[in-house]
Amino acid sequence: MSTKDLKFTEKHEWASVNGNIATFGITDYAQHQFGDIVFIELPAMGKSYGKGAACANIESVKAVADMYAPVSGEVTEVNSSLENAPEQINKEPYGAGWVCKVKMADAAELDSLMDESAYENYVKSVEEK
């Protein structure tokens, strides 16, 4: 998947939009910070999450952290293959490592997310601190 069409959060999640469905995952930067991911607690099917709400829990050899919903919506699909192969997040964070799909509650929330260029600049500013 090309990152050119993705939207990004300051907490290093991404969203890919197709109609009113948004696919979520964590960024390549985030998976590098985590190191080897060994477990993920996926979002609950059918549950609605508000923008910025913790929707998944990721455990790596270095840390345990929440993944936050880039936009509000109801979970329509989860990447259940990650339960047995969470390392897919490390290998393909923008492909096979996607976490869930949601039916967006408010597509206007996408306007507050960063495009690829803005996210790259944000990561540079974080690394400089």
What would the mean pLDDT of 94-100 be, rounded to a whole number?
97
Split at pLDDT 50, 70, 90, the class of 72 is: very high
User: Which CATH code of 3.40.390.10, 2.40.50.100, 3.40.605.10, 3.40.50.720 fits the domain covering 8-103?
Assistant: 2.40.50.100
Q: Name 48's Cβ contacts closer than 8 Å, sequence gap at least 6.
A: 72, 73, 74, 75, 105
Question: What Å distances lie between residue 20 and 6, 100, 124, 127, CA to CA?
Answer: 14, 14, 31, 34
Locate 33 and state its tokens. 């910070």
Percent of the chain with pLDDT over 90: 93
Split at pLDDT 50, 70, 90, the class of 1 is: low
Write down the pLDDT at residue 28: 97
Q: Indicate if the pLDDT at residue 16 is higher than 80.
A: yes
